[in-house]
Amino acid sequence: MRFGTVRTDLGVETEVNVAEISALDYEGRGVAKVGGKTVFIKGALPSEKVGFQITKQKKQFDEAEAVAIFKVSDERTVPQCRYFERCGGCSLQHISPTAQVAFKQRMMEEQLERIGKVKPKQILPPIYGHVWHYRDRARFSVSLDKSCRLKLGFQAKKTNDVVGISSCMLIPKPVSDKLSAIRELLQDLAEEGSVARFAEFYCGSEIIVLNIAFKSKLRQNEENRIRQWFDSELSDDWQIWLQIEGGVSQPFYPKTDKTLKYTLPEFGIEMPFRPGDFTQINADTNRLMVSRAVKMLDIRRGERIADLFCGLGNFSLPMAKSGADVVGIEGAENLVRRARQNARLNGCGGQTDFIAANLFDCTEKTVASWGRFDKMLIDPPRSGAYEVVKSLHTPYLPQKIVYVSCNPSTLARDAGVLVEKGYILSGAGIMNMFAQTSHTESVAVFDLLPQTGKKLFENKRQRIIKEGGCK
């Protein structure tokens, strides 16, 4: 064990552990080997020599925090946000934007190789956009102390405590500039007896919605207070929605013809949505992501393509506009209804069919019930699409699969399954949808090797014969 000394805020020198950092982990922590044991050090970067203090000891590894940097990486930068050290919203602000992209690319490649035992034939150029003020939606936590003083912000790192904020570098400036005013409104309502559960915003192409959730119905004077506050603080490109007792969010004030929606101009698509609907948090990068996915599918007119975990139709509608007949499958009934509405609105209802189904309970029988697809797009949540890829079988293996992932480890696991089924991982790359955070969005394309279906069918037939089944 190596030691060094640092001077505390009180001017006292104290001894600390010293380590050289070799890599970053998936949370953006520095990785070091100390006495043969792995240590994950918050705030440390590769190539740095740091002084650290252990915060948690476990059998296989330790967790620590950097308290001094003795050798500084060229990629280190000064965090722009004053809440960076406490707020749990970001973890990579101390790393330059270009290094963040490289880190995520390397993380994806390492996970594919280590977990999936696969390597893409081609590494795709990364997709990235704005590194600040890019989030088009976010939910703010609310907490109230014993003195009835309200905090509005994000949860602190590794705890449930709320870090009160008056600005945020990741959300649009018009929203960030109003955080103090929103907190004051919620403070006034709390003092009158109505405490908000949370507040969230959604930025569309023509309106910003502020949705506030309350545990119980508001009194008339409280509703009037919100209206007065809106008239003095916000403009007509905002609207307030209310969510009462865990119910569905409803527009409250003011009445407007403007709708919450995002656009995909390349495909001539407008996508209306409501608070609570799942949408990508970065509209600009989403446009680039959709464009890349559709190009990777190499759609031919009349092809039958599946869009699994289709949501509102973010990929389904552009695929239909490109000439495909699309079947979108989604677990949430409300999203299926919204996808159908969006398809009709955008003139592609005749080329789309949306089905509600639990894709986490998928079997070979389920896959067979869908019929044959020429190609498939999969865009699952963080837990991945293991049940789906495991259930794909001949003769229902699509010739091409594009897999959009928000978790490199589950992408890697599922990639290993697809390669075992006869696919080749033709390409993979990252999309820096969530700059300043360790969250990694990626996309991969799988192509079915020639004769794979016939080989799998013959192997299955021979196995049945060997086990004494039908000949």
**What CA–CA distance (Å, rounded) separates 438 from 46?**
15
**Catalytic annotation present for 406:** yes
Indicate the burial class of 30 (C-beta count within 10 angstroms; 0-12, 13-18, 19 or more): buried
Q: Which of 177, 127, 168, 179 is nearest to 440 (CA)?
A: 127
- Helix H or strand E segment including 343: helix 333-345
**What type of residue sits at position 36?**
G
**Contact predicate 6/51, CB 8 Å:** yes
Output DSSP code: residue 124.
P
Residue of 90, 148, 406, 470 with catalytic role = 406
CB atoms near residue 336 (< 10 Å): 21
Find the farthest-apart pair of alpha carbons in the chain and give their distance in angstroms, rounded: 84
Q: Which tokens sit at 228? A: 């007065």
Q: Distance between CA 439 and CA 132 in Å, rounded?
A: 15
Under 8 Å between Cβ of 398 and 306: yes
Q: Of 137, 158, 129, 139, nearest to 435 (Cα)?
A: 129
Catalytic residues: 406
